[in-house]
Amino acid sequence: MSRILTKADYGLVGMLTIFIDVAQTITDSGVTQALVRKQDRSKKDCSTAFIFNLGLSLFLYTILFFSADAIARFFSQPILTPLLRVIGISLILNAVVMVPKALLTAAMDFKTQTKATFISSVLSGGVGIAMAYSGFGVWAIAYYQLIKCFLNSVLLWVYSTWKPSLSFSIPSLKYFFNFGSNFTIAGVIHTIYRDVYLLVIGKFYQAASLGLYTRAYQFGQLPSDNIGNIFQRVSYPVLCSLQDDQDKLKLVFTQFLRILAFVVFPLMISLSLLAEPIIVMVVGEKWRGAGPLLSVLCLAMMWIPLDTLNLNLLQVRGKTDYYLRCELWKKGFGIVIVAATIPLGLLMMCWGQVLRAIIDMVIDTYYTGKYLRLGFFQQIKEIFPTVIYSIVMGLLIVISVSIVDQNWEKVVLGLTIGFGVYFLMAIITNSADLRAVRSFIIEFKSSKR
């Protein structure tokens, strides 16, 4: 689709991202995390969550529907009116499956979720490509997203053994609200800050510039978010089950931290150094301008999974007030960084995100360190071997790509030498992290059976 559609097409969808994401965050309202955390959840709890989420999604979609004209005028793009009204339907479709997904996560049934995601992605991707070839332009992206949400919802309902009822419990709703209110506020703040770049770039730059940024951001998200989401889905229910055992909680949290860094850091470093040839190979020459942006964004996104793991710990401990404080402090610094880098261009805005990611990590580890005595420097010490392996790997990638000219040669040679040396160093030093990754993979496969 990226080879067929224009940068402006992706830029138009990027302009709407902040509105959809904020509405999605409010719809969840921390209910998913609350259901997973609640060890004695009942059928009435689940039905209450379902009714509440669905009703809230309908209410928020109505707001988006009638706000579409104002949003289109803000960006001076009339097509955004019908575009938002179509893409916004995904809000309702996602709300319908929040409870089934939460129950599958609590049961650590990731195979079912993966199966639904894979099938819906393939089928919707085929429709999107066909529409792009047929000249539908930006609507190919819109219907690809909508069809993907619809198919994923249908499949999860087919696979799920849980079915809702009309029972509604005020005490259950109060529990969800008490647990999720601070998380919701923090989530909205985080979402607005994360997507404010799309809002600013869409307002002050051309749609094509936003398209380049969106494409770079999506490439960076691919390894960071997918691996981070896997660990989040696995780590959250595991840590919840250990919430009353401080020593074991610390041990398991440290293992997750080291495994996560061992996997994410080399992927993001290699993607950063090989960004331009990878983008040109995958989506074509017209997207080359996204390469430098991706190189920098990867250095920011490599910290996000670790940051999320620390926030998971606050959720497990039920420290919703500390969770909110984290977001307020982080976004306060973040706003200053955004304001300072806007006049300096897209690349400097990306470097600002690197600085922001490190500050976020420092703030989050300050609060999680209160409970496990694992502050920022202690966590860096835990992952220090991985940092060294990644630096050596990065230097070898830089040297290897300098001796070849073709894009495919740079990618193949860089990845082969880089990852070969990375794992060779881990094997020679008898890395505990490598052994932990092997154990995690075995246990993860066992949990899916």
Q: What is the pLDDT of residues 340-365, one digit of tens each?
A: 888 888 899 899 999 989 998 888 88
Identity of the highest mean pLDDT range in 3-12, 232-241, 281-290, 411-420: 411-420
Identity of the highest mean pLDDT range in 5-9, 33-37, 124-128: 124-128
Query: pLDDT confidence of 444, banded at 50, 70, 90?
Result: low
| Beta strand segments in 176-315, E | none
| The pLDDT of residue 187 is above 80 | no
**What average pLDDT score do residues 139-165 get?**
88
**Token representation of residue 402:** 């300098």
DSSP state for residue 445 in the 8-state scheme: H
Of 89-93, 131-135, 220-224, 243-247, the least confident: 243-247
Say what the pLDDT of residue 442 is: 64
Are residues 423 and 438 in contact, defined by beta-carbon separation less than 8 angstroms? Answer: no
Q: What is the pLDDT of residues 8-20, one digit of tens each?
A: 888 888 888 888 8
157: Cβ–Cβ under 8 A, 6 or more apart, which residues? 96, 97, 100
Going by C-alpha positions, the residue among 424, 27, 356, 348 that lies closest to residue 187 is 27
Separation CA 414–CA 393 (nearest Å): 9
| The pLDDT of residue 223 is above 90 | no
Most distant pair of Cα atoms in the chain: their distance: 67
Going by C-alpha positions, the residue among 123, 54, 47, 35 that lies closest to residue 94 is 54
State the sign of the Cα–Cα–Cα–Cα dihedral 178, 369, 37, 220.
positive
Task: State the chain's mean pLDDT as an integer.
Answer: 84
97: Cβ–Cβ under 8 A, 6 or more apart, which residues? 152, 153, 156, 157
Q: What is the pLDDT of residues 103-139, one digit of tens each?
A: 887 777 777 888 888 899 999 999 999 999 998 999 9
**What average pLDDT score do residues 316-338 get?**
78
Are residues 252 and 325 in contact, defined by beta-carbon separation less than 8 angstroms? Answer: no
**What average pLDDT score do residues 275-290 get?**
88
**What average pLDDT score do residues 57-61 get?**
93
* pTM, full prediction: 0.71
438: Cβ–Cβ under 8 A, 6 or more apart, which residues? none
253: Cβ–Cβ under 8 A, 6 or more apart, which residues? 239, 309, 313, 372, 374
Of 74-83, 200-209, 255-264, the least confident: 200-209
